[in-house]
Structure 1
Amino acid sequence: MPQKIQAARLHAALEAWRITEQRLDRRGSAGTLPRTERDALALVLAAEQTDEPMTPSTLATTLGFSTPAVSNLLHRLQDAELITCTPDPADGRRKIVTTTESGRDACDTVTSAPHVRKFLMGVPAEQAEAVSAFLDELSSVIAAQQTPAPTSAPVAAR
């Protein structure tokens, strides 16, 4: 398949996913947590399913937030008893963020829905690796474009 057609198909599939996710999010978000809190819970919940624990710094990087902003977010989630932050047994300087039972119940994002998780568990390992690598790289490309370009010094008037 020519690269231009492949890129167009990937773009169309990503846009369809984005629009579907937004539509479902709008429909299901009445009376739930704010989007930022739900995003953070979803990331912590996803990390709990892997061998990589979620840390505040990883959460800040993934969400694109400053460390103080994530600290405030984590305090709000702890005060609501949706997460816990405990010292990392391997490195006491680092904290590990985990969801509580209430946090898991409150995590109502599209990807946390039981039928979606069941679908994701059925994806063959090779496909899951390829899709994960693709999405990780795409996220990096998008994040790099959002980083403000360094400004040059103003040119002195002549």
Structure 2
Amino acid sequence: MDESTSQDLVLFKVFNEIGIIHQLGSTAFEKTLPDGLKISQFSVLNHFVRLGNESTPLQLANAFQVTKGAMTNTLKRLLDRELITIRPDPKDGRRKRVFITEKGRITRDQCIQQLAPLFLILKKSLSESDFRTVIPFLQKLRKILDAERNPF
């Protein structure tokens, strides 16, 4: 095996592990979500808390790499639960602005708190230092992929 093939294999192993972790983590997390709330809906709430209080449906669809129709469906479900509000854009009446509500913030925080039992299991085998060590690598990887998302 040449060096290039070996490096490609390492890269694949990293993505394979991340994919498996995503699947296992998502399944565990989904079991803790309040009745009827989906991971896609939680992800929108989390997006607002992480990156800001407002966005347009199209910006959200682009951020999550889903169709505008799929995002509209997710937003309708969040709106029905009063976790977001949708208002006309004051600068352009054709566009809408989406905002997280206080209830949405509280729901997002409660969802994270529901992960406490899983976190306890992880803490038995992995230290906080173990987690802190991988965060910079994962953030760098995410930023690279985010910057290069359009060519794919």
TM-score by length of 2: 0.61
CA deviations 1:77-108 (Å, max 9, x no partner) are 1120111223445x333333232233233334
Structure 2: give runs of 5+ residues left out of the alignment: 117-127
Following the alignment from structure 2 to structure 1, what is the Cα–Cα distance between the partners of residues 101 and 4?
Answer: 45
Matched residues, percent identical?
A: 26
Determine the structure 2 residue equivalent to 1:133.
Answer: 143
1:36 aligns with 2:40: yes
Residue 29 of structure 1, CA deviation: 1.6
CA deviations 1:100-132 (Å, max 9, x no partner) are 2332333347xxx9x8xx959x849xx95x434
What residue identity is the alignment partner of 1:60?
A
Determine the structure 2 residue equivalent to 1:147.
Answer: none
Task: Please give the secondary structure, in 2, of the residue aligned with 1:92.
Answer: coil
1:66 aligns with 2:59: no
Following the alignment from structure 1 to structure 2, what is the Cα–Cα distance between the partners of residues 104 and 18?
Answer: 28
1:80 aligns with 2:81: yes
Check whether the contact 1:44–1:97 (CA below 8 A) recurs between aligned residues: no
The structure-2 alpha-carbon separation of the partners of 1:11 and 1:44, relative to structure 1 and needing over 3 Å to count, comes to farther
Higher helix share: 2
User: What is the 5 A alignment of 1:9-158?
Assistant: 9-32=10-33, 33-48=37-52, 53-88=54-89, 91-93=91-93, 94-107=95-108, 108=111, 119=132, 123=136, 128=139, 130-137=140-147, 139-141=149-151, 144=152
What residue identity is the alignment partner of 2:104?
G
Following the alignment from structure 2 to structure 1, what is the Cα–Cα distance between the partners of residues 17 and 148?
Answer: 16
The structure-2 alpha-carbon separation of the partners of 1:87 and 1:28, relative to structure 1 and needing over 3 Å to count, comes to same
Following the alignment from structure 2 to structure 1, what is the Cα–Cα distance between the partners of residues 10 and 106?
Answer: 35
Q: How many residues align?
A: 129
Residue 56 of structure 1, CA deviation: 0.4
Task: Please give the secondary structure, in 2, of the residue aligned with 1:81.
Answer: coil
Following the alignment from structure 1 to structure 2, what is the Cα–Cα distance between the partners of residues 30 and 123?
Answer: 28
Structure 1: give runs of 5+ residues left out of the alignment: 145-158
The structure-2 alpha-carbon separation of the partners of 1:3 and 1:133, relative to structure 1 and needing over 3 Å to count, comes to farther
CA deviations 1:17-51 (Å, max 9, x no partner) are 221122122122225211321233233333318xx
